A = this chain, B = another copy of it.
Amino acid sequence: MTSLLDVQGYDPRTGAPVGEPVPASSAEEVDRAARAAAEAFPAWAALAAADRAAVLEAMADALDAITDELVAAADAETALGETRLRGETARTTGQLRMFADLIRRGQHVDAIISPADPAAARPDVRRMQGPIGPVAVFSASNFPLAFSVAGGDTASALAAGCTVVVKAHEGHPRTSVLVADTLRAVLGEAGLPADVLGLVHGFEAGGVLVRHPAIRAVGFTGSLRGGRALFDIASARPDPIPFYGELGSVNPVVVLPGAAHARAAAIATEYAGSLTLGAGQFCTNPGLLFVPDDTALLTELARAIAGTSTGPMLNERIRNSYVDTTGSVDLNPLAEGTPADGAWSVTPRTWSVDLESFTAELDRFTEEIFGPAGLVITYSSVGELLPTLSRLVGSLTASVHATDDEPDAAAAVAAALKPLVGRLIYNGWPTGVAVCWAMHHGGPWPASTAPTHTSVGGTALHRWQVPIAYQNWPQALLPPELRDDNPLGIPRLTQ
């Protein structure tokens, strides 16, 4: 039995502890949480979609009602600030309501009916999606609400009919407890088992959870190293389970010559804003910026970066890693921002490198630096740029800045980047992921461990579903989604 460290939250502005530590979950406690989620599963899965939707909306209402308390708790542990955290609360409750709306419409069960064809001796086959079972969700450090206990993974899994055990992030344990208590109270008030949503704490709890036989799938947002370790555990189980990990991303941005000439100042300002937003602690942070080498844009970039300043980073480990990594970069500094006040504040930093040097050490330059650090790569022609773009590592996003007069170049850059990313952005920046049905937030490794899936947007729900086909069942024994009279009025494909 190894000793378990309690989980202590800290104030990034001062480095001082926030409140009492939260006890780390023992292996026995994790086992109990996973079993409880398995016991709660049949009741939750059997609820009509409309009833599950009502519970998700009640959860959203309950969180909205304690916005002040949530913002205060999260700000104390992350220093992300009130404006951001009010927005994040709204995003979190908005996600819960989006998935409630989605399952009310019934599109998510993807019902297909293939009627019998006696001539071909083909039986009646009807297929729909249902919940995969109890799942584990690993919270992220950088979204203490929207990618945490009540975040997108939890919301989509609950909507699918799965029960959830959340592994709280060590950076915001008290915020996590507050949110979990709120959701569990809503479940209890609805007459449902509170264990539809469980919470465990501590590094060691994570591995125990992913190994647990009752857990049928895992959602994860975090570092490449941590995600890979857990993916390996999930894959090495006697019965491997799906692991949906969102890991690192460098999010290349290409500024085409026309755009660089026409909008140098605006692009520079927007880039500086995107790079330093939230102290650069976004998986969609624009880590690589490709710009023409003969425009005023470099000067404008230097100006814009010099004007930046960011709040403290989320925790001491992230801060130290940023300082060490950026300190060891032996490239031409382009510009630096100003460190803000706060114990774990850092300096926004950018470097420039020409395309040839960048291409020569592609692997080294395409490792993600978590924080407000950007590499600006100068190119002389789009034709010269394309082969390098097509060799980049997988990312969540790629962006192209162009004018209406360079559609061919924009199309060529998009074609080169499309196989490498999950989202292509035109004249915009990767930070700020819109929560909408069409969003795709994923991509090839290492952006994601599961390139066929997304962790944001309406289709994120599909990660937690397994299909089942009913062959020749009497109407009375079919689920309502598949009965001839379609009592729920859901969209179905008959083919």
Which residues from chain A sit less than 8 Å from chain B, CB to CB? 107, 110, 112-114, 122-123, 125-127, 130, 132-133, 216, 231-232, 235-236, 239-242, 394, 404, 407, 410-411, 414, 418-419, 421-428, 434, 436-440, 442, 444-446, 449-452, 454, 457-459, 462-463, 465-474, 476-477, 493, 495
Contacts and interface: CB of A to CB of B under 8 A. Distances in A.
State the number of copies, please: 2
B125 A434 contact: yes
Nearest to A445: B239
A452 B131 CA distance: 10
Contact of A423 (B410, B428, B450, B471): B471
A357 B103 CA distance: 44
A239 B363 CA distance: 14
A411 B434 CA distance: 43
Contact of A477 (B110, B410, B438): B410
B452 A469 contact: no
Contacts of A451: 132, 216, 242, 466
A452 B122 contact: no
Residue from A427, A458, A471 with most neighbouring chain B CB atoms (10 Å):
A471
Given A426-B473, A449-B240, A477-B426, A114 B436 contact: yes
A457 B427 CA distance: 40
Contacts of A407: 474, 476-477
Contacts of A446: 239
A470 B423 CA distance: 6
B470 A424 contact: yes
Nearest to A430: B471
Contact of A240 (B107, B235, B414, B465): B235
Contact of A452 (B127, B242, B442): B242
A451 B464 CA distance: 10
